[in-house]
Amino acid sequence: MSLIITDECINCDVCEPECPNDAISQGDTIYIIDPNKCTECVGHYDTPQCVEVCPVDCIPKDPDHVESPAQLQAKYEKLMAAKG
């Protein structure tokens, strides 16, 4: 399951540089997470780094993008292969 940034986001800019998959970017009003790139840091870290640094706790799991740990690992491997 990828993560999502809710409208409680205060645009503090701390999450974007922490994402090892470059899945976080500035949206129209708040930061957004690309579900095609978010692996919840599987393959990189034990916990999602954006959640660790978020001061307002606005990054829950995205119920619209449910994925198993195996699917997240496969997505990580695909992303890393594309980086070459």
- The CATH code of the domain that includes 40 is 3.30.70.20
Asked if residue 11 has pLDDT above 80, the reply is yes
Does any domain span residue 5? no
pTM of the complete model: 0.93
CA–CA separation, 13 and 51 (whole Å): 13
Segment 17-55, tens digit of pLDDT? 999 999 999 999 999 999 999 999 999 999 999 999 999
Expressed as residue numbers, the domain containing 26 is: 16-83
Q: Which residues touch 22 (CB under 8 Å, ≥6 apart)?
A: 37
Alpha helices in 1-84 (DSSP H): 49-53, 69-83
Radius of gyration of the chain (CA): 12
Q: What is the mean pLDDT of the chain?
A: 96
Does any domain span residue 66? yes
